[in-house]
């Protein structure tokens, strides 16, 4: 699977004849001509783009570099040796032939030797490619599919069973009741503003064509047969019956006998199956049973012994999954309370998806974050021996905490860093967009707590050393000692903060693998360290207030000192 693969897995609705509406999708998808290869995962065939129809329930679409499609004359061009060459299908319908055709322009290479390439003028980023796919496949009877990469799709389906990051599981006593309720939920979820209406779809459970065989008990009894006789004849003719097992060396192969496919693939042929009677007469199955098409379940899903149906949906960009689920749940409950939605007896529902992992992680973080703060405070207490001194230096954590949230807020503001330097927009360089609270963000805050007290410790430790040397006895002496110590620790404190800030710049501008995790993790640390430089002023001021209060409380101006190890 290629990194630039798009996994398109729509849901088909069967028509009145039980056939899937594929051909329109295949025809529409062909006009997305900037493709290299389409893999039909159902049949396992790899079909090169040469005008042939592409079919399949699950399609992997791979890009090719240097290919363009001229819609005016219907010509397809591919870049070979820096020159555009026209592609024309061979009359035999086989592999495409290349016909040389000079074109008056070339692609421009970048610094890495790769060519700057544009699919079409409106294609600027990967999301635009997905929007084009959704646009051309917006057909009646075909639902849109959520934007998922192949590996991501498999992980989600393994964890939730659904093919979407968010969904609603409907439990009920039978499939018909579940489908009726699922369609109602589908209409209601489309009304939620934070949900993309076109992505809401109930995964139909009923709709697959079945051949139903209804036995005529009177006719069977008239021929002196039993129900099991007819069922065994039908089983052996259609499903096959084990005859023997062949031994080929160390391998064994079962041998099954059944009718040829052309003798059992239609109801008319099934009616011709001969069933032996007690008298030796061969009776056609059509005289012993009635056969007709009926609609049945495409797939039977069950969880915790309950039949289940899925209503899948996707969120609007920039909205947290937890917020989407909370709003959707509140909207459904409001509909139930108002009487607009009446659930049948035995029907229940539950939201599922990636947000469940977020909730579980939030519960764990509710324990981890306080523990990390307590550990930081204990380390300060072991150093300074008093609660007051430890609290003064611990104040840097709260300053940095505010700075982290401020940076998260600024990332979501369109005006922040919205300027260009040397032709590069700063918002694009730092990938600025709305950042929701996630596990990665909270891990960044935990890392921030550990380094937020560095400047305070540097400043406070030297202030204590100066007090030990000068032994100030008046308020004026205390303030003078604090100023002297503070001036000599400005540069070390600035260097400590600058090292952390500069080290995070490559992370904030990274775009490779893992960047979607590392960037949210680095944002609160980056913002917290910038604001945390305020502790160069906060810690000396708090130290002065504490020392002055100690002098005022002592008799004769005797200064109360703290001890350090």
- Check which CATH number belongs to the domain holding 172 and give it: 3.30.70.1440
**Residue 261 domain-assigned?**
yes
Mean pLDDT of the chain: 78
Q: Is the pLDDT of residue 107 over 60?
A: no
Q: Is the pLDDT of residue 529 over 60?
A: yes
Domain that holds residue 319: 157-205+298-352
Residue 78 pLDDT: 56
Distance set, CA 175 to CA 10, 180, 232 (Å): 22, 9, 29
439: nearest Cα among 356, 377, 328, 512: 356
Residues 316 and 415 in one domain: no
Residue 5 pLDDT: 46
Residues 302 and 292 in one domain: no
Q: Is the pLDDT of residue 367 over 50?
A: yes
Q: Which residue has the tokens 């039978």?
A: 174
Average pLDDT rounded to a whole number, residues 281-291:
91
**Collapsed DSSP state (helix, strand, coil) of residue 80:** strand
**Residue 166 domain-assigned?**
yes
Q: How many CB atoms lie within 10 A of CB 86?
A: 16
Residue 54 pLDDT: 36
Question: In this prediction, what percent of the chain has a pLDDT beyond 90?
Answer: 31
Residues 446 and 375 in one domain: yes
Higher pLDDT, 168 or 298: 168
CATH of the domain at 223: 3.30.2090.10
Strands 59-62 and 206-215: unpaired
Q: Is the pLDDT of residue 554 over 80?
A: no
Angle between helix 475-488 and helix 490-508 axes, rounded to 10 deg: 40
In contact, 525 and 503? CB cutoff 8 Å: no
Q: Is the pLDDT of residue 35 over 80?
A: no
Distance set, CA 203 to CA 42, 161, 179, 194, 362 (Å): 19, 12, 9, 21, 30
Please count the structural domains in the chain: 4
**Residue 564 domain-assigned?**
no
Cross-strand partners of 134: none
Angle between helix 535-553 and helix 454-470 axes, rounded to 10 deg: 40
Burial of 218 (0-12, 13-18, 19+ CB in 10 A): exposed
Q: How many CB atoms lie within 10 A of CB 442?
A: 20
Whole-number Å distance between alpha carbons of 122 and 102:
26
Q: CA 390, 364, 527: angle at the middle one, nearest 5?
A: 55
Average pLDDT rounded to a whole number, residues 439-449:
92
Average pLDDT rounded to a whole number, residues 24-52:
41
Residues 425 and 473 in one domain: yes
26: nearest Cα among 120, 130, 137, 119: 137
**Residue 562 domain-assigned?**
no
Domain boundary among 296, 320, 336: 296
Higher pLDDT, 93 or 345: 345
Residues 409 and 476 in one domain: yes
**Residue 563 domain-assigned?**
no
Range from 24-28, 411-415, 436-440 that averages highest in pLDDT: 411-415
Residues 42 and 134 in one domain: yes
Residues 290 and 303 in one domain: no
**Residue 434 domain-assigned?**
yes
Q: Which residue has the tokens 């620790």?
A: 489
Average pLDDT rounded to a whole number, residues 380-409:
91
Residues 217 and 342 in one domain: no
Domain boundary among 102, 119, 145: 145
Residue 370 pLDDT: 93
- Which token pair is 522? 């680095």
- How much of the chain is helix, strand and coil, in % rounded to 5? 45, 20, 35
Of the pLDDT bands very low, low, confident and very high (cuts 50, 70, 90), residue 140 is: low
Of the pLDDT bands very low, low, confident and very high (cuts 50, 70, 90), residue 86 is: low
Residue 145 pLDDT: 60
Residues 476 and 532 in one domain: yes
Residue 112 pLDDT: 66
The lowest-confidence range among 120-124, 267-271, 402-406, 474-478 is 120-124
Cβ contacts of residue 372 below 8 Å, gap of 6+?
446, 449, 450
**Residue 551 domain-assigned?**
yes
**Residue 565 domain-assigned?**
no
The lowest-confidence range among 149-163, 240-254, 348-362 is 149-163
pTM > 0.95: no
Of the pLDDT bands very low, low, confident and very high (cuts 50, 70, 90), residue 82 is: low
Cβ contacts of residue 248 below 8 Å, gap of 6+?
none
CATH of the domain at 498: 1.20.1640.10
Cα within 13 Å of Cα(531), Cβ side: 22
**Collapsed DSSP state (helix, strand, coil) of residue 145:** coil
In contact, 545 and 389? CB cutoff 8 Å: no
In contact, 4 and 34? CB cutoff 8 Å: no
Average pLDDT rounded to a whole number, residues 129-142:
69
Whole-number Å distance between alpha carbons of 178 and 200:
16
Higher pLDDT, 142 or 284: 284
Higher pLDDT, 291 or 128: 291
Q: Is the pLDDT of residue 433 over 50?
A: yes
Average pLDDT rounded to a whole number, residues 432-444:
89
**Collapsed DSSP state (helix, strand, coil) of residue 79:** strand
The lowest-confidence range among 46-50, 434-438, 441-445, 514-518 is 46-50
Residues 446 and 394 in one domain: yes
Residues 169 and 267 in one domain: no
Average pLDDT rounded to a whole number, residues 261-266:
87
Q: Is the pLDDT of residue 128 over 80?
A: no
The lowest-confidence range among 187-201, 324-338, 373-387, 540-554 is 540-554
Residue 184 pLDDT: 94
397: nearest Cα among 447, 362, 459: 447
Distance set, CA 379 to CA 383, 384, 394, 409, 452 (Å): 6, 9, 10, 31, 13
Residues 333 and 444 in one domain: no
33: left (phi over 0), alpha (psi -120 to 50) or beta: alpha
């Amino acid at each position: 699977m290629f990194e630039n693969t798009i996994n398109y897995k729509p849901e088909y609705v069967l028509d009145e004849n039980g056939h899937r509406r594929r051909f329109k999708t295949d025809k529409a998808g062909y006009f997305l001509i900037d493709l290299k290869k389409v893999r039909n995962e159902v049949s396992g065939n790899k079909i090169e783009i040469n005008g042939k129809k592409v079919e399949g329930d699950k399609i992997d679409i791979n890009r090719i570099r240097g290919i363009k499609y001229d819609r005016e004359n219907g010509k397809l061009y591919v870049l070979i040796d820096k020159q555009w060459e026209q592609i024309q299908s061979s009359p035999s319908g086989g592999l495409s032939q290349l016909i040389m055709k000079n074109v008056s322009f070339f692609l421009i290479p970048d610094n890495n030797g790769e060519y700057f390439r544009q699919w079409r003028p409106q294609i600027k980023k990967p999301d635009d490619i997905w929007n084009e796919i959704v646009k051309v496949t917006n057909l009646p009877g075909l639902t849109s599919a959520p934007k998922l990469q192949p590996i991501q799709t498999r992980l989600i389906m393994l964890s939730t069973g659904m093919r979407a990051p968010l969904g609603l599981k409907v439990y009920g006593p039978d499939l018909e009741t579940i489908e009726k309720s699922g369609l109602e939920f589908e209409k209601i979820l489309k009304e939620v503003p934070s949900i993309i209406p076109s992505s809401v779809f109930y995964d139909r459970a009923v709709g697959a064509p079945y051949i139903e065989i209804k036995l005529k008990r009177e006719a069977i009894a008239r021929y002196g047969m039993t129900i099991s006789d007819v069922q065994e004849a039908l089983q052996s003719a259609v499903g096959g019956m084990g005859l023997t097992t062949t031994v080929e060396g160390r391998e064994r192969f079962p041998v099954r006998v059944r009718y040829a496919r052309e003798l059992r693939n239609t109801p008319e042929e099934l009616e011709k199956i001969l069933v032996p009677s007690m008298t030796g007469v061969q009776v056609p199955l059509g005289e012993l049973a009635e056969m007709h098409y009926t609609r049945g379940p495409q797939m039977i899903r069950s969880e915790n012994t309950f039949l289940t149906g899925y209503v899948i949906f996707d969120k609007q960009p920039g909205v947290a999954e937890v917020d989407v689920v909370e709003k959707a749940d509140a909207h459904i409950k409001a509909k139930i309370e108002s009487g607009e939605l009446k659930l049948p007896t035995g029907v229940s529902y539950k939201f599922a998806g990636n947000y469940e992992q977020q909730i579980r992680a939030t519960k764990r973080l509710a324990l981890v974050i306080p523990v990390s703060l307590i550990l930081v405070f204990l380390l300060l207490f072991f150093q300074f021996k008093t609660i007051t001194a430890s609290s003064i230096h611990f104040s840097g954590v709260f300053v940095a905490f505010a700075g982290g949230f401020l940076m998260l807020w600024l990332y979501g503001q369109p005006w922040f860093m919205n300027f260009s330097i040397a032709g590069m927009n700063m918002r694009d360089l730092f990938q600025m967009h709305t950042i929701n609270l996630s596990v990665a963000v909270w891990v960044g805050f935990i890392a921030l707590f550990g380094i937020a007290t560095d400047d305070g410790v540097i400043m406070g430790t030297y202030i204590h050393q100066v007090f030990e040397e000068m032994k100030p006895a008046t308020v004026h002496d205390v303030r003078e000692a604090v100023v002297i110590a503070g001036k000599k620790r400005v540069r070390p404190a600035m260097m400590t903060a600058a090292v952390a800030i500069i080290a995070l710049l490559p992370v904030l501008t990274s775009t490779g693998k893992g960047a979607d995790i590392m960037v949210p993790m680095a944002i609160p640390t980056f913002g917290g360290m910038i604001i945390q430089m305020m502790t160069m002023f906060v810690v000396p001021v708090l130290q002065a207030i504490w020392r002055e209060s100690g002098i005022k409380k002592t008799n004769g101006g005797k200064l109360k000192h703290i001890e350090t190890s």
